Amino acid sequence: MTALEKNNVKVFGNGGKALIFAHGYGCDQRVWRFMTPAFQDEYKIVLFDHVGSGGSALSAYSRIRYSSLKGYADDVLELCHELALTDVLFVGHSVSAMIGVLAAIKEPARFDKLVLIGPSPRYINDINYIGGFSQGDIEGLLDSLDSNYLGWSSTMARVIMGNPARPELSEDLANSFCRMKPDIAKHFARVTFLSDNRADLPKLKTQSLILQCSEDVIAPEVVGRYLHQNLANSRLRVLEATGHCPHLSAPEETVAAIRTFL
């Protein structure tokens, strides 16, 4: 099975330079539908689904390979190899921001710039570090997911989206969660929320833009500022958009910020 088949890769657009969009936890490539029209005349757009999400090949899922974010980063590099992509522009949301960082550390010559939307190197608070959650918070979140996945999906979709005045966005995200196989979703959640990539940050040399949302309970502003301080070649842009998914709730502002950076 090729990486293009495994990750349900879609390629379109009129440009020569590749712009890869990588979705966050519980989502699939559909989340970029409000963003890609703004870039497809200038770039080669590459969309894909992480294994276990969307239209990916579920038979390719391995709890060993995907026991850390490095397995997902290797998938990104494999699809770059198959498409012969170099000088890549990578846009990663949430957990995929760190996946992109790991891929660019492993093969820095393959990437030109990274756009990190709502990134977090560690969700759990630590000594001299605020990630936004206590150890107990995360354990409770994971226990809730294990005991009632459908209920968890509905509740967390509202928390993640952070736009109570637009319930249709939360409903769409909850439906996306529900399209994942529960056992894969539970494992990916543990890998995501228990990861700690702080030690990797100084290794990144690729230029990056950190897009920080206002009032984001998943990746609060203090996390964005921590990343900016620890990524040597980074810029930080705080958006007016609230919540954790500005590519869905405020695509125009998000597109404008990315355009300025690119």
- Cα 262 to Cα 258: distance, rounded to the nearest angstrom: 6
What's the rounded Cα separation, in Å, for the pair 243 and 212? 10
The mean per-residue pLDDT over the stretch 75-83 comes to 98
By DSSP bridging, strand 44-47 and strand 88-93 are unpaired
Catalytic residue among 23, 50, 244, 247: 244
The predicted model gives 248-257 an average pLDDT of 96
Domain ranges of the chain: 3-261
216 is an active site residue: yes
Nearest to 141 by CA among 159, 126, 127, 129: 159
> What would the pLDDT profile of 60-70 be if each residue is shown by its tens digit?
999 999 999 99
Of 53, 56, 94, 153, the active-site residue reads 94
Please check the confidence at residue 178 and state whether its pLDDT lies above 70.
no
Decide: 71 and 65 in contact? Cβ < 8 Å.
Answer: yes
What's the CATH class of domain 3-261?
alpha beta
pTM for this prediction: 0.95
Average the pLDDT over 140-145 and give the result: 90
94 is catalytic: yes
pLDDT digits (tens, 9 = 90+) for 94-121: 999 999 999 999 999 999 999 999 999 9
Catalytic residue (one of 50, 96, 216, 249): 216
